[in-house]
Chain A
Amino acid sequence: MIETKNLSKIYNPGKFEVNAVDNISTLFKEGEFTSVVGPSGSGKTTFLNCVGGLDQPTSGEVIISGENITELSGSKIINYRLNNIGFVFQAYNLIPVLSAKENIEMIMLLQGVDENNRISRTNELLNQVGLYEMRNRRPSQLSGGQQQRVAVARALASKPKFILADEPTANLDSKSTSNLLDIMSQLNEAENITFIFSTHDQRVIDRARRVVTLEDGKIINDNKK
């Protein structure tokens, strides 16, 4: 369970203040498939950055499974991210010198997972995202959709409590988007992993079971389907 309490992020405090996130309190339950939507500049990305421990909020708390992650700093927050949060980036951000298999494996290497478990988990994820046959290809040898599927597999590799995905379909065509959403939806159901997307994409919004709408850093709508 992820809970934000009075979460605020103010850029340029004391000067030309920008309230990117303005006093947001909300709750994401385990296994949710949520889209955070809103126009550009509404604070979606900053909100997810704070929830993911990448950005330090100006005030408020982010409590994940009872642990206030805003109090963690330095190596503790890095370790927390490594073991609890999966990230999917708009631009995939795979390591170009590693194969698909190695990109997925890398996060488990960072965690110190033993070789047998690492290999079996990697193969399992490659099968789930339908890229087992292409496991030895480097990112440059994969299409955008395939790269994003590897990115999803990488995010899942660490067995995180939840996955944060910022505009995961922004660079994909409709077929790849549909394919990716199917995979994420299946993983959400099969592994009961919480997915939180920020998106403009109506196709993603349509598939989400909860849609949180932000404007000027505030939640203006929270619909559960």
Chain B
Amino acid sequence: MNILTLIKISWRNVWRNKLRSFVVILSVIFGLVGGIIMIAMSYGLNEERMNNAVETYLSHIQIHNKSFSEEYNIKHTIDNLEGIENAIENDSRVVSYSKRIILNGMLSNSNGSYGIQVKGVDPVQEVKVTNTYEKIIEGEYFKSKRDNTILIGKKLADRLNLKIKSKVVITFQDENYELTSLLYRVEGIFRSGNSRYDEANVFVKNISIAKNLPNFSGYHEIPMLLTDIDLRGDLKNDLIPYSSDNIVEGWDDISKDLAYANEMLAAVLYIFMMIILSGLSFGIVNTMLMAILERRKEIGMLMSIGMSRFKIFLMISFETMFLSIVALPIGLIISYSIVEYYSVVGIDLSIVEAGLENFGVGTRLYFKVPNQEYFIVAIMVFVISIISSIFPSVRALKINPVEATKTI
């Protein structure tokens, strides 16, 4: 008996009890769709969080002076700035870049103080590397002719009860470790979608810092966006030789928790998927055991007339596998359709806006499933179906043909 005949018999056996097989197949489909939607939401959430971080404050690559990254004294500016700028401008992989002065200090008003990081930026250059200007919810993005205007986050504004045109004082240590204060007026309030970022970061024009610190020159941070986020590794290596005093980091070096979450996500999702599929496999095993119980006589007859144990094992294994394998393409097609739809339309999660903002994402979640995940899930279903088939098949082999057929 060739394998095709065995497959044919197994396939027909699956459809002997249509309702039962249909229910099992349906449960596998639901499990599969549920699992893939979970993957889609998790990837969507994580990508949203990553994109938000990259577009708002991380960029693809940042350059700092090594010492500045360690002690945050403003005297540690980027070394060989001119050489680096030339290299960046002539590199086709770089879409845009900016230069920032970074001050770590306190922002105060009559209501209190709060520790913040001040980003002194060139408003024209900055819009090419950050989307903060799109996130202004009150006031404007550096439209004022004044130099001493400031953009603050919504969370900080709420905390210190700041409004447009409110006056604030920023206090920080200058290059001589002496406290220096600068007065600013609020020009805009932004809401990035990451409340922790909004609470601790403000933007000012870099010219306002330069004017008040006549002995200071240079920049502390060069953020840049690339044509492709995956090019960051190569570009980092190309920029490192320009100065040994600088440190060139990708977004994943700067925000290790975000990168770690990305790596961990896949592993965690596979574990969840395995749990879902394992649960489903018990249903499949149960169904097959019932089918074998019902067909004891027939299996006994097959053994009697000379069907080898191996072929009986294969026949039952194929039947078990068919239940999963039939469900697999249907489940994948349904999942793919749902994921594609919600990857464009997104799901409105404004009901949990506060929580999402703390997590660093917006209120609309767009599904995402990398194509290889479908392949991996398909492999997982296949493996689970093979494992599920072993127990019923072994059980079938234990049937005693004499007892099963009662008579010869």
In the complex, the answer to whether A97 meets B16 with C-beta atoms within 8 Å is yes
Say yes or no: A49-B402 contact (C-beta < 8 A), given A89-B301, A109-B5, A166-B408.
yes
In the complex, the answer to whether A54 meets B401 with C-beta atoms within 8 Å is yes
- Once bound together, how far apart are the Cα atoms of A87 and B301, in whole Å? 9
Which residues of A lie under 8 Å from residue B12 when comparing CB positions?
97-98
Q: Which 3 A-B pairs have the closest CB atoms?
A: A82-B306, A97-B12, A93-B301
Residue from the list A55, A91, A96, A107 in contact with B305, Cβ < 8 A: A107
In the complex, the answer to whether A52 meets B306 with C-beta atoms within 8 Å is no
In the complex, the answer to whether B9 meets A95 with C-beta atoms within 8 Å is yes
In the complex, the answer to whether B1 meets A45 with C-beta atoms within 8 Å is no
In the complex, the answer to whether B1 meets A106 with C-beta atoms within 8 Å is yes
Say yes or no: A167-B407 contact (C-beta < 8 A), given A81-B305, A95-B9.
yes
Q: Is A164 positioned at the interface, with any CB of B under 8 Å from its CB?
A: yes
In the complex, the answer to whether A75 meets B308 with C-beta atoms within 8 Å is yes
Say yes or no: A90-B407 contact (C-beta < 8 A), given A95-B298, A98-B9.
yes
Q: Interface of B with A (CB < 8 Å)? A: 1-2, 5, 9, 12-13, 15-16, 297-298, 300-309, 311, 401-402, 405-408
Say yes or no: A78-B408 contact (C-beta < 8 A), given A93-B298, A95-B9, A109-B1.
no
Q: Assuming A109-B2, A110-B311, A111-B306, what are 20 further A-B pairs, CB within 8 angstroms?
A: A52-B408, A54-B304, A75-B309, A78-B307, A78-B309, A82-B305, A87-B301, A87-B408, A89-B405, A90-B407, A93-B301, A97-B13, A97-B16, A106-B1, A106-B9, A107-B305, A110-B1, A110-B306, A112-B1, A164-B408
Interface centre among B311, B406, B408 (most CB of A within 10 A): B408
CB distance from A175 to the nearest CB of B (A): 23
Which residues of B lie under 8 Å from residue A89 when comparing CB positions?
301, 304, 405, 407-408
Say yes or no: A87-B305 contact (C-beta < 8 A), given A93-B298, A97-B16, A166-B408.
yes
Which residues of A lie under 8 Å from residue B304 when comparing CB positions?
52, 54, 81, 87, 89
Which residues of A lie under 8 Å from residue B9 when comparing CB positions?
95, 97-98, 106
- Once bound together, how far apart are the Cα atoms of A154 and B306, in whole Å? 12
Say yes or no: A107-B306 contact (C-beta < 8 A), given A54-B401, A93-B301, A95-B9.
yes
CB distance from B343 to the nearest CB of A (A): 42
Which residues of B lie under 8 Å from residue A95 when comparing CB positions?
9, 298, 302
Overall SS of chain B's interface:
helix
Which residues of A lie under 8 Å from residue B305 when comparing CB positions?
81-82, 87, 107, 110, 154-155
User: Mind listing 29 A-B residue pairs with CB under 8 Å?
Assistant: A45-B407, A48-B408, A54-B401, A54-B402, A75-B308, A75-B309, A81-B306, A87-B408, A89-B301, A89-B405, A89-B408, A90-B407, A91-B405, A91-B407, A93-B297, A93-B300, A93-B301, A93-B405, A95-B298, A95-B302, A106-B1, A106-B5, A106-B9, A110-B305, A110-B311, A111-B306, A164-B408, A166-B407, A198-B407
Q: How many residues of A contact B (CB 8 A)?
A: 35
Q: Interface of A with B (CB < 8 Å)? A: 45, 48-49, 52, 54-55, 75, 78-79, 81-83, 87, 89-91, 93, 95-98, 106-107, 109-112, 154-155, 158, 164-167, 198
Which residues of B lie under 8 Å from residue A111 when comparing CB positions?
306
Interface centre among B15, B300, B303, B304 (most CB of A within 10 A): B304
- Once bound together, how far apart are the Cα atoms of A189 and B47, in whole Å? 81
In the complex, the answer to whether B402 meets A78 with C-beta atoms within 8 Å is no
Which residues of B lie under 8 Å from residue A166 when comparing CB positions?
407-408
- Once bound together, how far apart are the Cα atoms of A199 and B175, in whole Å? 111
In the complex, the answer to whether B306 meets A83 with C-beta atoms within 8 Å is yes
In the complex, the answer to whether A49 meets B298 with C-beta atoms within 8 Å is no
In the complex, the answer to whether B13 meets A54 with C-beta atoms within 8 Å is no
In the complex, the answer to whether B301 meets A78 with C-beta atoms within 8 Å is no
Which residues of B lie under 8 Å from residue A54 when comparing CB positions?
304, 401-402, 408
Interface centre among B9, B297, B302, B407 (most CB of A within 10 A): B407
In the complex, the answer to whether B306 meets A78 with C-beta atoms within 8 Å is yes
In the complex, the answer to whether B303 meets A78 with C-beta atoms within 8 Å is yes
**Minimal Cβ-Cβ distance residue in B for A83:** B306
CB distance from A192 to the nearest CB of B (A): 21
- Once bound together, how far apart are the Cα atoms of A91 and B306, in whole Å? 18
- Once bound together, how far apart are the Cα atoms of A45 and B13, in whole Å? 30
CB distance from B162 to the nearest CB of A (A): 77
Say yes or no: A78-B407 contact (C-beta < 8 A), given A49-B402, A54-B402, A95-B298.
no
